[in-house]
Amino acid sequence: MTDSVRIAGVEVTRLRAMAAREAKRYAAARPKTRAALDAGAGAYLGDVPMHWMRDWPMPFPMLVKRAEGARLTDVDGFRIDDFCLGDTGSMFGHSPAPVARAIRRQARRGLTYMLPTETALEAGALLNRRFGPYRWQIATTATDANRFALRVARAVTGRPKVLVFNGCYHGTVDDTMIELRDGHTHARQGLVGQVEDLSLVAEAVEFNDLSAVEAALAKGDIAAILTEPVMTNSCMVLPQAGFHDGLRTLSRRYGALLIIDETHTISSGLGGYSRVHSLSPDIFVAGKCVAGGMPTAVWGMTDEVAARFAEYDAHRPSGHSGMGTTLSANPMQFACLKANLAEVMTPGAYAHMEKGAERLSAGLRRVIEAHRAPWHVVRVGARVEFICAPGPLTNGAEAATAHQPELEAAIHTALLNRGSLIAPFHNMMLVSPVTRKRQIDRLIAAFDEILTELF
């Protein structure tokens, strides 16, 4: 709810006073960071090495000195409980010991050869054990994995379009950078240098709307539905009962593939949401944390899709496939993938994450109720989000309306000043296998202090 005096139940004057004070406090406490940025950031476009780093709400970025477990230390010496965890890249904690050991070992044996290793074969078997029997390929980013999965889907179906859900995010895959406006698919506003008509290659409908999915599929030009099991890149939207079954039934009925992007929902439990909830995608995609933070993504197709692709591949004209990148499937990735799958992504780790995330979501919920804030909390396994609007949300349009950038930015900075870092783009928090109970309790207490001031 936004009007001239309140945002999501918070008086705007009170919010702005808090935001200004917290920004000042952040800046005043970080003279070394400020000085270092002034001396060295100018080498980068926009003063940061990757422009998303400007999306944090603080007046200037935190310069990280080191990260261990679920904690960051910045150059001014602040020790921060990390619930962002590299926006999932470090969901299993920073530098998990088995992964760090694997890196040290592999560093002596070469970093990239464009040839497989015995470790690659072992990692393949582990992928099957963790996620299910797919025919795997390795990419460097989940963006790439989704792009390549879409190539395969278009190749085997001979159809041009991908169906995605309004408000989705699957990496910077051009085709998926669309949105619904006035009931029609358009390129998202704000895309840099986008000149193509994306509605020729993609269609958007709302999440949880099986009639809209069917209407789109019935046109016969959809190669694949690409979806997260839970929409995690807007304010979080859970699937309604029967939605995933419906997607599976409809995609089969209309001859489209179902690609499930588990890059974030790998937080759900061992094997990701698909395993935990018995989904059966045609192509499974995961990235970010799958190799413990080493840039790695995996995408696997069922035997049936693999057979269709082999048939296609055997008859296509010779030439570049348009899939793959030079540094992908390098031995360092496999060393880390194997270590992470075998020794880090364990049932015990997930049990700890689940328990901690339950503690966190229950604590945040208690605070919200105590302050009678018109907000709610959502959780998918180790991934927790507070949303500054009533819930549950059912689709991307509702999620966009629920998002309150000004309020969220103030809360994020205030949390950081109290020692907790959460993800910058929305209010997402991850609980890792090494996150301590006291870190969770500190975050809940900080949230309470902030809401006490806001309400």
Q: Which helix (H) or strand (E) holds 301?
A: strand 297-301
**Which parts of 175-204 interact with ligand PLP (CB under 6 A)?**
none
How far does CA 305 lie from the centroid of its chain? 26
- Nearer residue to ligand PLP within complex by CB, 142 or 373: 142
Task: Tell me the window of 107-115, 213-221, 257-265, 321-329 that interacts with ligand PLP (CB under 6 A).
Answer: 257-265
Report d(CA 294, CA 267) in Å as an integer.
17
State yes or no: residue 233 binds ligand PLP (CB under 6 A): yes
State yes or no: residue 273 binds ligand PLP (CB under 6 A): no
Residue 215 CA: distances (Å) to CA of 209, 277, 365, 373: 10, 26, 38, 38
Residue 171 CA: distances (Å) to CA of 125, 141, 163, 228, 385: 27, 8, 15, 12, 20
In the complex, minimum distance from the CB of residue 227 to ligand PLP, in angstroms, rounded to a whole number: 9
- Nearer residue to ligand PLP within complex by CB, 264 or 338: 264
What the block records as the tokens of 238 is 């859970």
- Nearer residue to ligand PLP within complex by CB, 19 or 393: 393
- Member of 7, 120, 142, 226 binding ligand PLP (CB under 6 A): 142
What the block records as the tokens of 314 is 């055997």
In the complex, minimum distance from the CB of residue 300 to ligand PLP, in angstroms, rounded to a whole number: 15
CB neighbour list of residue 174: distance below 8 Å, 6 or more residues apart: 194, 196, 198
- Member of 90, 106, 143, 404 binding ligand PLP (CB under 6 A): 143
- Member of 263, 361, 395, 439 binding ligand PLP (CB under 6 A): 263
- Nearer residue to ligand PLP within complex by CB, 146 or 413: 146
**What own/partner pairs with CB < 8 Å and gap ≥ 24 does 47-50 have?**
none
- Nearer residue to ligand PLP within complex by CB, 265 or 417: 265
- Member of 30, 94, 130, 288 binding ligand PLP (CB under 6 A): 288
- Nearer residue to ligand PLP within complex by CB, 7 or 266: 266
State yes or no: residue 264 binds ligand PLP (CB under 6 A): yes
- Write out the DSSP string of 180-207: EETTEEEEPTT-TT--S-GGGTEEEE-T
In the complex, minimum distance from the CB of residue 89 to ligand PLP, in angstroms, rounded to a whole number: 7
- Nearer residue to ligand PLP within complex by CB, 15 or 279: 279
State yes or no: residue 228 binds ligand PLP (CB under 6 A): yes
Residue closest to ligand PLP, measured at CB: 171
State yes or no: residue 169 binds ligand PLP (CB under 6 A): yes
**Rg of the chain taking only CA atoms, in angstroms:** 22
CB neighbour list of residue 317: distance below 8 Å, 6 or more residues apart: none
In the complex, minimum distance from the CB of residue 237 to ligand PLP, in angstroms, rounded to a whole number: 13
State yes or no: residue 90 binds ligand PLP (CB under 6 A): no
Which residues, in sequence order, are bridge partners of residue 204?
164
Torsion sign, CA atoms 382, 386, 387, 389:
positive
State yes or no: residue 426 binds ligand PLP (CB under 6 A): no
Structure letter (DSSP) for residue 377: E
Using the structure block, give the residue that is written with the tokens 């709307």: 209
State yes or no: residue 170 binds ligand PLP (CB under 6 A): yes
Interior angle at CA 297, CA 295 and CA 303, nearest 5: 160
CB atoms within 10 A of CB 174: 15
Task: Tell me the window of 26-34, 142-150, 219-227, 369-377 that interacts with ligand PLP (CB under 6 A).
Answer: 142-150
Task: Tell me the window of 10-18, 126-134, 260-268, 302-310 that interacts with ligand PLP (CB under 6 A).
Answer: 260-268
**Exposure of 108 in the CB half-sphere (CA atoms within 13 A):** 4
Report d(CA 371, CA 378) in Å as an integer.
18
By the 8 A CB rule, do 232 and 264 touch? yes
In the complex, minimum distance from the CB of residue 88 to ligand PLP, in angstroms, rounded to a whole number: 7
State yes or no: residue 141 binds ligand PLP (CB under 6 A): yes
Name the residues that contact ligand PLP, by CB under 6 A. Answer: 141-143, 146, 169-171, 228, 233, 261, 263-264, 287-288
